[in-house]
Structure 1
C-alpha cells in the first residue's frame, strides 16, 4: 500500500516562497501561529457565534475562545502523537515538536472562515445565493463560469483557506503559512465542483474545502506535503494525517464545552450534564467537599478533555496504517474508546441544545438579517459590473454605499470574483457588526 511520508508531511517551507523561513530559535510553525493570532480575521472571531448568538454572558464560548481552546487541546494531541511517532522511529528526533506546532497553528485557524451566526449563518449565505442563481440574470447569469455550487453550499472551511492562503496580507499566498500547517488545516482537500464527482464514503470528504480561486494553493500544498491523490478522480487528495488531530481537538472541545455552556445558560440542568461528562471522565464528583454544581461541572470538564485526548491519541496509533495510506475515512473520536460517550453527547445536543428557544429565535433573526445585508450590498457589485469592473467609474448611491460600508473591491475583476467579494464581505462580519450594517442599510 502506498503511504505518505513524514519528511514531506512536515514541510516547513512557505506557500509560494522558495527560500526557507525556519529559524532554530523561532521555528516556522511558531511563526505560523503568530501570523494567525495577530491577524484581523482571527481577532474578529471574538464576536462570532459558537453556539449561542449575541449572548451577554461573558462565560459563554464564542469562536475566538473556542479556537484558542481547540489549539490547546490540539497541541497536547500533537505532543502525545508526536512522542509516539518518535518512539516508533517514524519521525526523526525533534519531530514531536514539529507535529505539535503544526497542529497548534492549524487549530488556531480552523474556524477563521466562519461567518456571523455560526452554521446558521453559513446556511443563510448559501440559501441566498441559491435563490439568486435559480432566478439567474446579471452576476448570476452563468452558473458554470461562476462555479455556483461554491456559493449555494457556502462553506466556512473553504472561506478559511481562502483567507489564510489568499486574501490576508493582500499578496499571493496570503499569510504564506508553511505547507505543513496548510496541509493540517485542509480538512477537505477538494473543490466544490470536483467534490460532486467522487464517492463520499470512500474519500471521507463530506464537504468541499477549497474554492476554485485557491486551486493553485491546494495543488501546491498537496504536492509539497506528498498527499495521496484520490483514486477515482483527478483534482482531489486524501487527507493529511494531522487533519485528524485538528478535527479531534475540535470535536473534543465543542462537544464537551457545549455541554458546559448549556449548563451555564440553563438550557440543561446539572442532572443532564454531569452524567455525560462523568462517562467521559471516568468518575463522578463527590458530594462531601462542598463544591457548587458549577465547580463540579468545571472539574468534570477538565478531566473529560484529558481523557478524550488520550483516547484519540490511542485511536491515531491504532489506525496509523490506514491514516498514512489515505484509507481512514472516519474521525478519531468515533474510532476511540470514547465513541459511545460522544455519540450520546451529540444526540442530546441535537435534541436540546441546538433547538433551544432563544437559539432558534436568533437563528431566524440572523438568517433574515444576513439576507437583507446581501440584498443591500449587491447593488455595489452590480454597479461595478456595469462599469466593466473599473472601481473609479462607480458613482451615485453604489459609490456612496461602498464607501460607507468600506467594501474592498480590489479582488472583483469579473462576475465570479465579484460574487466572492460579496461573500468575503458578509462572511467576514462579526455578529454585532452585522446587526449594525443591517440597521444602516435599512435606514
Structure 2
C-alpha cells in the first residue's frame, strides 16, 4: 500500500506553476476552492430549513465548515495510527489532511436549491418532459437512450464534479477530485439490482455524468483506481459528513423550537429501545445503552444550567459523539486498511453492527420522524419543489427549439421569430453559456450536421438549463420564479 501512488500533484490541465511538491499543490487546491463562487453560494443554500432568516441555523456552507473540521480531526487520527503501523506519511501529511478538508468543504457544492426536493423536481422534469422531447426527435439514434438516462439521473455529487471541472474550471488535482467521487457509477449506468452485488454501496447513486467520463477515466488511470473502486480519502470525507449531519439536524430543530430537549431526550430513548429484537441488532448493545448514557449526561448538564439548558444539552451530546465517532471512523479505516486503500470497501466507515452505528441510526430515524416530517419543513420543501418545477417549465421552450433555431439564437443572441425564447436565453449566465459553447463548437462548425450531432447538441443544451437552475441559491431561485411567473 504505497500512498505515493494515490497522493499526486497531476491535474487534467498542466499547471502554469511548476516545481511544487504535493503539499504545496494541495494548498493551491484549497485556494482555488475557497475563492470559488460556488462555495460562496453555499451560504444561501438549504441544509434542512429553506429560506431561513435565523443565521444561527445551518446553511450548506456552515454545515460544510463543520464537516471540514470533523474531516480534519479524523485524518489526523488516521495518520497517527498508520504511523504506528509503519506507514510514514510525514512527507504527505499536510496535503493528506488538506485534501480531506477541501473535499469536505466541497462535498455539497452540486446540490440544487431547496436540497433534495430541488433534486426531485429536476429528475421529474427530465423524466416527464425532457426524455419525451428527445425521444420523439431522436429515438432512432444509437446513443439516444444512453443520453436520456444520463440526463434523467441528476445527482448532487455528480453535479458537483461537473461544476468544479466544466463550469468553474478550477482544474483541481486528480487527488482532490478523486476525494469527491463518492459514488462510482456513471449516470447512464444501471443501479446494482442485487443486494449481493459487490458494488451495491459504491454504485447506489450516480457519481459522474457522461460529460465528465473522460475526466473520471483520467483520474482512475493517474491514481491507479480500479473500475468501481473508490479513492481511499473519500471514505474519510463521507464519514465526516455523516457524523456532522446526524447531530446538526437535531441541533437546528432545537434552535428553531421544533424539538424541546425533553422531547429530544425522550425520542432518543424510545428509538434506541425500539432496536431490541430487530434482525441484525445484538440486544446486548441495546442493554449497554451507549447513546442513552450520553443523553443522560447531557440532561444532567442541562439541568445544571438555569438559563441556557438547550445549549448545554446539545453541546454535551455533540462534543461527545463527534469525538467518539471520529475515533470510530478512524479505527475502521485502519482496521480495513487494505480494502479502503484499494477502494473495494463497500460500506461507509460508520457502518457496522456496534454501538456507534446504532447511535447514528437512532439520530437518523429521530430526524426523519421529528424534523423532516415536521409541518414547517414539509411546507418549505413543497414550496421549493414548486419553485424549481416552475422554473424548469418556464425555461422548457429553449429545449423545444430545433437545432438550427437554437444555433441562431446562441450565435446571434436573438431569434426574431421567438421573442420569449430570446429573453429566456438572455437570462442564462455567461459562465453556463460558455460551458455550452465549448461543448458544441465542433457541432456548430459542421456544414450539414447529422441527427447524431443534433442529438449531442440537445444533450448539452439540456445540461445548460439544468446547470443554470441547479446552480441557483434558494433566494435567487424564488426571486426568479416570482418574477417570471408574475406571482410576486
Give, in whole Å, the separation in 1 of the partners of 2:255 and 2:317. Answer: 14
Report what 1:398 is aligned to.
421
Report what 1:124 is aligned to.
121
TM-score, scaled relative to structure 2: 0.81
Q: Does 1:49 align with 2:46?
A: yes
| Offset, 1:243 | 0.8
Report what 2:272 is aligned to.
none
TM-score, scaled relative to structure 1: 0.89
Report what 2:246 is aligned to.
255
Q: Does 1:436 align with 2:479?
A: yes
RMSD: 2.5
Measured against aligned partners, the alpha-carbon deviations of 1:334-390 in whole angstroms (never above 9, x if no partner) come to 236511101111111111211110111121121121111011122234447342524
Q: Structure 1 321/281 Cα, relative in aligned 2: closer, same or farther at 3 Å?
A: farther
Report what 1:98 is aligned to.
95
Give, in whole Å, the separation in 2 of the partners of 1:198 and 1:33. Answer: 38
Q: How do 1:184-199 residues align onto structure 2 when only pairs under 5 Å count? A: 184-196=179-191
Give, in whole Å, the separation in 1 of the partners of 2:420 and 2:343. Answer: 53
Give, in whole Å, the separation in 2 of the partners of 1:438 and 1:189. Answer: 34
Report what 1:295 is aligned to.
311
CA contact (8 A) 2:134 2:148 kept: no
Rg larger for: 2
Report what 2:158 is aligned to.
158
| Offset, 1:22 | 6.4
| Offset, 1:308 | 1.5
| Offset, 1:321 | 2.3
Gaps of at least 5 residues in structure 1 are: 169-173, 230-236
Q: How do 1:41-440 residues align onto structure 2 when only pairs under 5 Å count? A: 41-133=38-130, 135-137=132-134, 141-142=138-139, 144-145=143-144, 147-168=147-168, 174-196=169-191, 201-203=197-199, 204=201, 205-229=203-227, 237-274=228-265, 276=268, 283-284=297-298, 285-286=300-301, 287-288=303-304, 290=306, 292-296=308-312, 297-335=314-352, 337-383=355-401, 385-387=403-405, 389-390=407-408, 391-393=410-412, 394-395=414-415, 396-406=419-429, 408-412=432-436, 413=440, 414-440=457-483
Give, in whole Å, the separation in 2 of the partners of 1:441 and 1:316. Answer: 50
For residue 209 of structure 1, give the secondary structure of its aligned residue in structure 2.
Answer: strand
Q: Structure 1 32/140 Cα, relative in aligned 2: closer, same or farther at 3 Å?
A: farther
Q: Structure 1 191/21 Cα, relative in aligned 2: closer, same or farther at 3 Å?
A: farther
Pick which of 323-332 and 70-79 moved more: 323-332
CA contact (8 A) 2:191 2:204 kept: no
Q: Does 1:8 align with 2:8?
A: no
Measured against aligned partners, the alpha-carbon deviations of 1:316-341 in whole angstroms (never above 9, x if no partner) come to 11222222343321111123651110
Give, in whole Å, the separation in 1 of the partners of 2:136 and 2:46. Answer: 30
Give, in whole Å, the separation in 1 of the partners of 2:224 and 2:297. Answer: 43
For residue 236 of structure 2, give the secondary structure of its aligned residue in structure 1.
Answer: helix
Pick which of 75-84 and 41-50 moved more: 75-84
